Chains A and B, each alone.
Chain A
Amino acid sequence: MNRRTRRVPLGIAIPAALGLAFVVLPLVGLVTDAPWDTLVGSLTNPEARAALRLSLLCSAGATVVAFGLGLPLAWVFARLDFRGRSFAWALVMVPMVLPPVVAGVGLLAAFGRRGLVGGFLADHLGVYLTFSPAGVVLAEAFVALPFLVVTVEAALRAAGTELEEAARTLGARPWTVLRRVTLPAVGPALAAGAALAWARALGEFGATITFAGNVSGRTRTVPLAVYLLLDREPEVATALSLLMLAVSITVLAALRSRWLGRAQ
């Protein structure tokens, strides 16, 4: 059926339109609210620039961490069968449903100065994770990881082991199979998972502020900067939010057309 002439049932069209409006209206509100005349000044504000740079770097770092840990996790869940797998899966999904501030409290308990691992790091290695960019990456990676695992696991499962078997008959050892057959086959899913994880990391607030604090230039990502700027300079806050919006939309749209456009 020609896409353009296809008739959409009202039962689908109306909720879909409402859904779109629901999501778009706040964005429209932001844009109309924006102080367009002072926009450039707002964005060249050193606080704003520092926050942007920090946000981009930390979210990228968090995505890398989520990828490095999430891909093996996804492989284990997709390819292996072991007792307690459902339970382990539920645990990995927890950061998705946990209120971010609670996640931050948990991170403090584990990696804070008085925490299980954090105490060891501080006492024996002089390494402090709280109030540091590393802490930001940690908090963001924590909340972003499940998104990557879910996406990649589903793709690995759907891809099945057929191609991997073929590769084995051609003499490929497990690492080669992974590198040259499995991962390329789920390439689009990897990109989608990374994009989701990155977007989640970029917008993270509660866990970051609780665990990494609000230190200018070191942990004050854009969401945290906006939080303070709302009281200090509301115009800069709006401008910064708009810029974040623009960056996110650009990256996600570009990814969608290039990598995610193909059906998985």
Chain B
Amino acid sequence: MRSVAPAAPADRRSPALVSSQPDYCHAVPHRPSPRPAALWPPRRTAVALLAVLTIFAIAGCAPSNDRSRLTVAIAASLEPAFTVIVREFEDAHPGIDVTLEPGSSTALAARIADGAPYSVLAGADASRVASLGADLAGPVTVFATNRLAIAVPPGNPRRVRGLADLARLRITALCDIAAPCGRYADEALTAAEVTLPESRITRAPDATTTLRAVTRGDAEAAVVYVTDVRSAGPAAEAVTIPPSANRTARYGIAVLAGADDPGLAREFVTTVTDPRGRAALTAAGFGVPGP
């Protein structure tokens, strides 16, 4: 029987060996300690989460008051001008809250047909507004006109001079064909005999969103209303479209059958069509029909 003495190999670096009295030893874990499941201790996470949710709940709940409300659905392009009109209306009618609901005229019309509780509709195509038929509670008044323009980034880096130049751009933003501004843009392009392949067009549901593709994104041009370009301020430049190719949008406003207070709604419509309203619209770049 060979026995191996607990002696080191002949080497000065080997450790000395002694018999020792055993004493308590810890078990040795080999795995690294696991990462805690939460970034914070669970309790703190729960409290933080609760706090955040409470804040959202409180913020979301508007203080209730019993002021009269008026909801006005407007084509997106009207928002700057109507904001001014609404402020004047509220000053003249204390106790009244007017809420603007901007969107694409088509989407708003669809929502009204579904029963959305708007009091007034101001859309970018008067005939479209008129086609609401039974949902209207009065006549449609044409209160403003608008024309198309090409919006480009400040400095016009791609040297766009007219609709024809759009053909050489990488991406042009247009409104969707369901919206009036999209229909008008397509008509204008046809009138100017310019064909843009679909792969060079990005579409958005309304004019405001379409313009955003230029002001916040990489689109090189957008066809929207002159009023939109003006309200974008320094973020965009306008390139004029000659009258031969341009289209005129005729805006119509009407009181809706779903209005809680038709009288109040009619007063609002009056404000839009009277000199104060016209001044606000003109300032924004709209055309106004003769008195």
Report if A and B touch in the complex (beta carbons < 8 A): yes
The answer for the CA separation of A128 and B32 in the assembled complex, in Å, is 45
Q: Are A228 and B176 in contact (CB under 8 A)?
A: yes
Q: Are B217 and A214 in contact (CB under 8 A)?
A: no
Q: A108-B217, A215-B171 are in contact. Are A157 and B34 (CB under 8 A)?
A: yes
The answer for the CA separation of A210 and B215 in the assembled complex, in Å, is 12
Say yes or no for A72: interface residue by CB 8 A criterion: no
Q: A215-B198, A216-B198, A218-B199 are in contact. Are A112 and B217 (CB under 8 A)?
A: yes
Q: Are A161 and B203 in contact (CB under 8 A)?
A: no
B35 contacts which chain A residues (CB < 8 A)? Answer: 85-86, 89, 157
Shortest CB–CB separation between residue B236 and chain A, in angstroms? 15
A113 contacts which chain B residues (CB < 8 A)? Answer: 218
Q: Are A232 and B177 in contact (CB under 8 A)?
A: yes
Q: Are B217 and A215 in contact (CB under 8 A)?
A: no
B104 contacts which chain A residues (CB < 8 A)? Answer: 231
- Interface residue tally for chain A (C-beta within 8 Å): 31
B204 contacts which chain A residues (CB < 8 A)? Answer: 214
The answer for the CA separation of A130 and B171 in the assembled complex, in Å, is 9
Say yes or no for B73: interface residue by CB 8 A criterion: no
The answer for the CA separation of A231 and B181 in the assembled complex, in Å, is 13
A85 contacts which chain B residues (CB < 8 A)? Answer: 35
A80-108 interface mask toward B, CB cutoff 8 Å, 1 = contact, 0 = none? 01000110011000000000000001001
Q: Are B217 and A231 in contact (CB under 8 A)?
A: no
Those of B233-284 within 8 Å (CB) of chain A: none
Those of A196-220 within 8 Å (CB) of chain B: 210-211, 213-219
Known contacts A213-B202, A216-B198, A231-B104; 5 further A-B pairs (Cβ under 8 A) = A105-B216, A108-B218, A157-B34, A161-B31, A232-B176
Seen from chain B, the residues whose Cβ lies within 8 Å of a Cβ on chain A are 31-32, 34-35, 39, 104, 106-107, 110, 170-171, 173, 176-179, 198-205, 213, 216-219
Q: List 11 A-B contacts (CB under 8 A).
A: A89-B39, A131-B219, A215-B199, A215-B201, A216-B203, A217-B198, A228-B176, A231-B104, A231-B106, A231-B178, A231-B205
> What 6 A-B pairs have minimum CB-CB distances, sorted nearest first?
A213-B202, A231-B178, A130-B218, A232-B178, A216-B198, A113-B218
